[in-house]
């Protein structure tokens, strides 16, 4: 059975604040560790009131310091927002503090709107430089050589697994060329998933970092004690997508009983397309859905996310998903 991992955005729910979001994040990571999830990844977003993981490396350190075995990493760092040297130093520091447990996933989107992207980058340069920035970053993790003018301290000679993230063919192609593991954002942008996976696996070039292709797929999994309750919990994610598209991102909303009264027909189509990779239901429904998703797409790992309003319900969802994994493992 393939490993399951967790993607967290440190959600800030209505009526709460970032401090509580961080407490929930650490609590969920500790639960994930006990339940046998392989990784706990946090994603960089900016200027979004409902997402508190903007200072991603800082939060990774908080989570890694409160756990002991689960891998902790970025899913991902939006590289155009940062100098490659600074990323190498930050993750070299994390890997020195928590050896063998830190992952670095890289994306080429800004993770925000254009005004905020400009504020982050200051001297604006588009994501066209992403391949060169990735190569520069990888070089900083190599052992320093005599006469090297710039080195990452710490970072040089430290093993930090680097992943490329994407929702298009671009990062699939670059991951294959560089021989890096690849994570596809199928949990919110699944349209190019099958084509990207095929391209990555077909064109993969072995490297010192990875001998054969390794692909992880994002999947929304919201599980509850009944299908009806899981569908109700999922309305939090559906509302969040609609609010974002309406230009009104806010705190994570509570679930509602009638999502049909909230969205327009075009919005419904948009959300259902964006969240097509979702398994929603009680344990048996989730088992069937995950089993079918794995059989169809053959990922090497699943990156599960659940944007659930109540922390206790979110914990329960990941408990059910872990139990489903164990059932599938026993059957296979």
Residue 69 has pLDDT above 60, yes or no: yes
Q: What percent of the chain has pLDDT over 70?
A: 97
- Cα three-residue angle 243-246-250, rounded to 5 degrees: 35
Cβ pair 162, 209 in contact under 8 A: yes
Q: Cα-flanking dihedrals φ and ψ of residue 225, to 5°?
A: -75, -15
Mean of the per-residue pLDDT values of the chain: 95
What distance in Å separates the CA atoms of residue 105 and residue 141, rounded to the nearest whole number? 14
pLDDT band of residue 312 (cuts 50, 70, 90) is very high
pLDDT digits (tens, 9 = 90+) for 177-193: 999 999 999 999 999 99
Cβ pair 321, 36 in contact under 8 A: no
Backbone conformation region of residue 213, classed left if phi is above 0, alpha if psi is from -120 to 50, else beta: beta
**pLDDT the model gives residue 120:** 73
What distance in Å separates the CA atoms of residue 51 and residue 44, rounded to the nearest whole number? 9
Q: CA-CA-CA-CA torsion for 125, 128, 131, 134, nearest 10 degrees?
A: 30
**pLDDT the model gives residue 282:** 98
Cβ pair 172, 182 in contact under 8 A: yes
pLDDT band of residue 122 (cuts 50, 70, 90) is low
pLDDT band of residue 112 (cuts 50, 70, 90) is low
What distance in Å separates the CA atoms of residue 154 and residue 89, rounded to the nearest whole number? 6
Q: What percent of the chain has pLDDT over 90?
A: 92
Give the pairing type, strands 301-305 and 4-8.
parallel
pLDDT band of residue 116 (cuts 50, 70, 90) is confident
- The residue extents of the domains of the chain are 4-220+302-319
**pLDDT the model gives residue 118:** 76
Paired tokens of 141: 């993790």
DSSP state of 152: -
Residue 111 has pLDDT above 70, yes or no: no
**pLDDT the model gives residue 109:** 78
pLDDT digits (tens, 9 = 90+) for 4-54: 999 999 999 999 999 999 999 999 999 999 999 999 999 999 999 999 999
Please report the DSSP string for 233-252 in residue order: HHHHHHHHHHHHHTT---SB
**pLDDT the model gives residue 1:** 86
For residue 185, count CB atoms less than 10 angstroms from its CB and return exposed for 0-12, middle for 13-18, buried for 19 or more.
buried
Please report the DSSP string for 14-54 in residue order: TT--HHHHHHHHHHHHHHHHHHT-SEEEE----S-TTB--S
**pLDDT the model gives residue 127:** 65
Backbone conformation region of residue 184, classed left if phi is above 0, alpha if psi is from -120 to 50, else beta: beta
CATH number, span 4-220+302-319: 3.20.20.30
Q: Cα-flanking dihedrals φ and ψ of residue 136, to 5°?
A: -60, -45
DSSP state of 71: E
Residue 125 has pLDDT above 80, yes or no: no
Of 79, 158, 68, 63, nearest to 111 (Cα)?
79
The count of other CB atoms within 10 Å of the CB of residue 315 is: 18
């Amino acid at each position: 059975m393939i490993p399951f991992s967790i993607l967290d955005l440190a959600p800030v729910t209505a009526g709460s604040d970032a401090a509580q979001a961080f407490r929930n994040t650490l609590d969920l990571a500790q639960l994930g560790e006990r339940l046998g999830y392989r990784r706990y990844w946090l994603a960089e977003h900016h200027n979004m009131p409902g997402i508190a993981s903007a200072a991603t490396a800082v939060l990774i350190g908080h989570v890694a310091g409160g756990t002991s075995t689960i891998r902790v990493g970025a899913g991902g760092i939006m590289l155009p927002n940062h100098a490659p040297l600074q990323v190498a130093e930050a993750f070299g520091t994390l890997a020195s503090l928590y050896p063998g447990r830190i992952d670095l996933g890289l994306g080429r989107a800004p993770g925000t709107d254009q005004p905020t992207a400009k504020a982050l980058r200051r001297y604006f340069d588009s994501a066209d430089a992403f391949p060169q920035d990735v190569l520069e970053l990888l070089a900083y993790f190599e052992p320093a050589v005599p006469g090297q003018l710039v080195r990452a301290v710490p970072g040089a000679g430290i093993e930090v697994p680097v992943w490329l993230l994407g929702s298009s063919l671009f990062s699939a192609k670059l991951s294959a060329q560089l021989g890096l593991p690849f994570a596809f954002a199928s949990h919110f942008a699944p349209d190019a998933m099958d084509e990207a996976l095929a391209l990555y696996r077909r064109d993969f070039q072995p490297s010192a970092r990875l001998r054969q292709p390794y692909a992880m797929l994002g999947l929304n999994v919201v599980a509850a004690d009944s299908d009806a309750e899981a569908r109700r919990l999922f309305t939090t994610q559906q509302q969040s997508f609609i609010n974002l598209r309406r230009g009104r991102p806010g705190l994570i909303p509570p679930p509602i009983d009638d999502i049909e009264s909230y969205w327009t027909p075009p919005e419904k189509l948009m959300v259902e397309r964006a969240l097509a990779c979702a398994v929603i239901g009680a344990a048996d429904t989730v088992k069937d859905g995950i089993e079918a998703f794995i059989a169809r797409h053959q990922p090497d790992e699943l990156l599960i996310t659940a944007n659930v309003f109540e922390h206790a319900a979110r914990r329960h969802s990941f408990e059910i998903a872990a139990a489903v994994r164990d059932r599938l493992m026993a059957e296979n």
